[in-house]
Chains A and B, each alone.
Chain A
């Protein structure tokens, strides 16, 4: 794991293959929680934590259980069980330790379970045949990519409150159009790769 390959892996996960603007994974919470920047940051950190822990646990289970017993078709069920239990655990933890963040995230905390990004990263680690360190790094960096995208987007959305746009675009439509502009910006990174 030379420093260069770490850098290129993180660069790919954050910019080139950003989970939201390029891979379309994790859009539901991205649209739902990005009205205010502080909830967006809370959501981003929760997603980074869940992604990193989830992909380390899924890697171990996949490597030592599923591959050994040749149960590849069970992958989706096992991964999603791990992620769901982890999110439930985070939910319990937040309810006790940081109630304000728990209330702010509201319905979007259980929706992290169905957050395509978390399961997506677990399945991608398997298809890309990453080893343990690479999968944990890739998961953490994709989480960072998710957080950067959601913070960028929420700051833009806060300014949208005072912009002039047709009444029909109130709420989500204008948010989606802004997301498409941000996504064009991220498309610019596609050619970028260190090695």
Chain B
């Protein structure tokens, strides 16, 4: 049990895929324009990450190393399409707000990176926990970034206007440059916090 908690903390803070490892940048920057997008994208990515980690760690002994990337990515793409179809059929409104981002999950580097680095080397349970940890880490970082960008860039949080009518939102923050800028500052702040926490612990 102790190892699982460590893995979760590791995925959320010390080894956060977005803020520390800096993978999964494309969906992070693309979908962090509003909080509900971020939550939807984070949970969808987490779901695919957990399922693909389980399946890949099950198959890890059968896949020859030369075709490992092709096999992993086909499994991941399969899960994403299944998720997309199921959402369109049974959760139509969520699928509308997330429609464009679901195919983006296939090329979310986190999933292949975790499959390649972790799931292909460890047991099923450990890989599932790692998928959960990395998924939570990804969602946590995404929501953090999305709330910053939405508050400054659109003056709302989860769609609720905060500053009344006369607030002139900084639209650049919601556009492309804002993504890079806010993520840069967020990672800098995160590194300072982690250094402080590590400093106090050692």
Q: A: which residues have CB within 8 A of B?
A: 21-22, 24-28, 30-32, 73-74, 76-77, 80-81, 83-85, 87-88, 92, 110-111, 113-116, 118-120, 123, 166, 168-170, 172-177, 179-181, 183-184, 186-187
CA distance A107 to B74 in the complex (A): 19
CA distance A73 to B108 in the complex (A): 19
Please classify the interface of chain B as helix (H, G, I), strand (E, B), loop, or mixed, using the class held by over half of its residues. Answer: helix
Known: A24-B179, A80-B106, A176-B184. A113 touches B73 (CB 8 A): yes
CA distance A22 to B103 in the complex (A): 19
- List of 3 A-B pairs having minimum Cβ-Cβ separation, nearest first: A176-B184, A180-B180, A27-B25
Which residues in A have their C-beta under 8 angstroms from that of B85? 73
Which residues in A have their C-beta under 8 angstroms from that of B180? 176-177, 179-180, 183
**Which of B22, B24, B111, B113: most chain A Cβ within 10 A?**
B22
A114 touches B107 (CB 8 A): yes
B112 touches A111 (CB 8 A): yes
Residue total for B at the interface (Cβ-Cβ under 8 A): 47
Please classify the interface of chain A as helix (H, G, I), strand (E, B), loop, or mixed, using the class held by over half of its residues. Answer: helix
Q: B: which residues have CB within 8 A of A?
A: 22-27, 29-30, 66-67, 69-70, 73-74, 76-78, 80-81, 84-85, 103-104, 106-109, 111-113, 116, 172, 175-181, 183-185, 187-189, 191-192
Extra inter-chain contacts (5) besides given A77-B78, A176-B180, A179-B184, CB under 8 Å: A76-B80, A110-B69, A118-B107, A177-B185, A184-B172
